[in-house]
Every structure is written in C-alpha cells, then in structure tokens.
Structure 1
Amino acid sequence: MSKAKPKRSSHFASNQLRIIGGQWRGRKLSFPSVDGLRPTTDRVRETLFNWLMADIHGAQCLDLFAGSGALGLEALSRGAGLVDLIDNARPAVSQLQQNLQQLDANHGQVFHANAAEWLQHNTDKRYDIIFLDPPFGQHLAQTCVQLINQQAMLKPGGWLYLEMGKQEPLPALPPNWQLHREKFAGQVCYRLYKLPRQV
C-alpha cells in the first residue's frame, strides 16, 4: 500500500516561481501560501522587463509587497545593482531570505515590515526603479504613492511600476509622473510611470 505524499511536498510543488531571464534564467524557487500573495505572471514580467531593458543593469530597486519575490528576484537576475524587498508576512520574508541565499544574491536585502511604515522610516532612500504590486482590493497603493512622492524616493529619470486589479480605481498620482506604458492581462492592469529628469 503506497503512502500519501506529505502536504509540505505538494505545497511547495504548486507554489513555485520561475526566473524567466538573466543569469538565473530557468531557476525555480518556492514561495509560501500567504493571503494576498499573488506572483506577477511570467507573461507580465516578460513584458515589464522588456520595457525596462535599457535601465535595469546596475539599478537601485525597491520591491514593495515583495511576496514571492517575482519582481525583485527577476530584477537581480537581470543585473540590478541592489534590490530592497519589503513584506509584512513572516513566512514570505523567511522564504525570500532562503531564496537569496540559494541564489548567492548578495545585492538583495529583505525587510520584514509594513510597506507604508517602512517608507515612513526610510526617508533617505532613493531608487531608480520601484515595484508597487500590493494585494488586490485593499486600497494600499494610494498611501505608498503619496509617501514615495513626498519623500522623493524615486530618482529623477526613474521608473515606478504599478500592478493592480483591472477593476480597481487608479490612485491619485503626482502630475509629474508620466504614464509610459499600460497593458491588461486577464484581471490585471499594469502600468509603468516615469519621473522626468529635472531640467
């Protein structure tokens, strides 16, 4: 009589993320089951990093609501100089730390924190690219956008990526953030904004 597989094994088999480009292309990494954790799909990531191709190498990046690390780890794989990954779920943070060790990714840092509180307490940080992909339906993007703008965390010439549910209202954005790209994929709308360089 055969034994049933342990739940842990089947859990990690179904919760896997694949790096789709760069030095770790094809690598598969586990992530935990956490409410609201929804990795950015391969299709969307492929499009996003095609948009960022000319700017990702050496970029200082911030991955808010990092979750599985789909965006931050992909950025590191494609040559980002540094990625700060922020998440408030301890299981997600622990797995992100393990994945960074597994990849020997020395330019990634994981912080266990609420995204808005982390932004409020790290006012000296400046980034070339910020990934903002909060859980859908919780109206979390607006506060983060306001804090990023108030504290000038996005460098002139930098990019902000915003991923939201297709039916969610767009947060009020600073007038100087220019919409560069917008696409839909199923129930997801994803947009890339640019902060112009100062004249």
Structure 2
Amino acid sequence: MRIITGAYRGRKLETPRGDDIRPTTDKVKEAVFNILMQDTYDAVCVDLFTGTGNLGLEALSRGARRCYFCDNSRDSLQLAKLNIQKCHAEDKAIVLAGDYSKCLARIREQADIFFLDPPYQAGLYENCLALIDSLDLLSEEGIILAEHGVRDEMPRKVGRLEKTKERRYGRIMVSIYRRTDDAGAGDQEGEEEAE
C-alpha cells in the first residue's frame, strides 16, 4: 500500500497483519481520487473508520488542508499514527479516538470531503449519514464517498444528503452523497462499472 501521487508520492504505508482492518485497495483509492479530481486542494477531510489512514493521507498528499482520522480501534489508530509520521503529516492531521458518533461530535467545523468506510454489513452507513447531516458537518459543496460491498443496500436519501452516483469496482461499490437543501429529487445517475 502506497501513496499514489502528490507531496507524499511513493511513501509505503504500514499495513495490518490480520484481517481485522481492511484497507482500501490502490485500485479503488485511485478511482475515488479520480472522482474527486481537484476537490482535495485546500479541503478539510474526515477519514471516518480510518483503518490505516490510507485515504486521508492520500488527500493530504494531494493538497488537502487538514484531515481528521477517526477510529474506534486502538490497532487502527496506532497504524494511522505511524503512517502519519511516515508522511511527516502531523501538522495537518487530527487523530480522534472513539466510535463514529463520538468522533463526529468532536469535529467543530464543516468538512468538504468525508471518506466513509465502516465494516461492511455492520449496518452503520445510514446512522453515519444521518449524524453527519444532523450535526451539519458537510459543507455546502461537500461530498461523501461511501465504500461498501456490492450487496449492501445504501439509502437514496438521508435528511439533506442524497446519493447522486454510484460506481462499481469488482465486488466493491462507492456511493457518492451530496447535500441537497430541498426536498426534490436529485439527478441520480445509475450504477457504473469501472474497468
């Protein structure tokens, strides 16, 4: 696992030994950042269920201003802190320990990008989206990228957050949510499969 491009390009990240932490693959990570394009520059990001810190560090490498790395697992946080140190990104990283609800409640600013990657089939997606919305944590033009299994049913709309697109990468899906401040239907696009 490595940083693909930007200031930390080529840095190899520490990876977990067991199966408890499931890092985002380089293929999916590259696809996610192709979706974001230039949106990472000067962005405030939240890497919820951070695992190794892989996505948040890639965002910082591509010019994000700050990233919150959040996880409930002590092992995950140790890995994330180690990888933050390897990239010399301590001045842009805020590490929060606790479950997603405690971490989100501690964030005192709106974020432009949320990476949402909880354990698959744990039933946490809708609760996470609802809390992000109720705490008003997503900026007006912000984006949430939720990584999940192809069989996971993702809600079309939660509060003001609406799924606008989904992409398939083999057995992994990425659902994209944006803020809509009206009750009307969005321009939801169908599923797309990547090569």
Shift of 1:55: 1.1
Letter in 2 for 1:112: A
TM-score by length of 1: 0.83
Q: 1:40-74 CA deviation, whole Å, 9 max, x = no partner?
A: 11111111111112211000000100001121111
Change (3 A) 1:187 1:126: same
Measure the CA separation in 2 of the matches of 1:197 and 1:107: 30
Measure the CA separation in 2 of the matches of 1:141 and 1:56: 23
Shift of 1:85: 0.4
Letter in 2 for 1:138: A
* Runs (5+) with no aligned partner, structure 1: 1-16
- Show the counterpart of 2:130: 146
- Show the counterpart of 1:75: 59
Measure the CA separation in 1 of the matches of 2:76 and 2:106: 21
Q: Count how many residue pairs are aligned between Structure 1 and Structure 2.
A: 181
Measure the CA separation in 2 of the matches of 1:72 and 1:196: 25
Point out 4+ residue stretches in structure 1 off by more than 4 angstroms. none
Shift of 1:124: 3.0
- Show the counterpart of 2:5: 21
- 2:51 is the alignment partner of 1:90: no
Q: Secondary structure at the match of 1:55?
A: helix
Percentage identity across paired residues of the two chains:
37
Which residues of 2 match residues 3-152 of structure 1 at below 5 A?
17-33=1-17, 35-105=19-89, 106-119=91-104, 121-122=105-106, 124-152=108-136
Shift of 1:28: 0.6
Q: Secondary structure at the match of 1:30?
A: coil
Measure the CA separation in 1 of the matches of 2:132 and 2:142: 12
Structure with larger Rg? 1
Letter in 2 for 1:87: D
Shift of 1:96: 1.2
Letter in 2 for 1:148: I
Change (3 A) 1:90 1:123: closer
Measure the CA separation in 1 of the matches of 2:65 and 2:107: 20
* Runs (5+) with no aligned partner, structure 2: 183-195
Contact 1:19 1:27 in 2 (8 A): yes
User: Which stretch of structure 1 is more off in the superposition, 127-136 or 175-184?
Assistant: 175-184
TM-score by length of 2: 0.85
Measure the CA separation in 1 of the matches of 2:48 and 2:159: 22
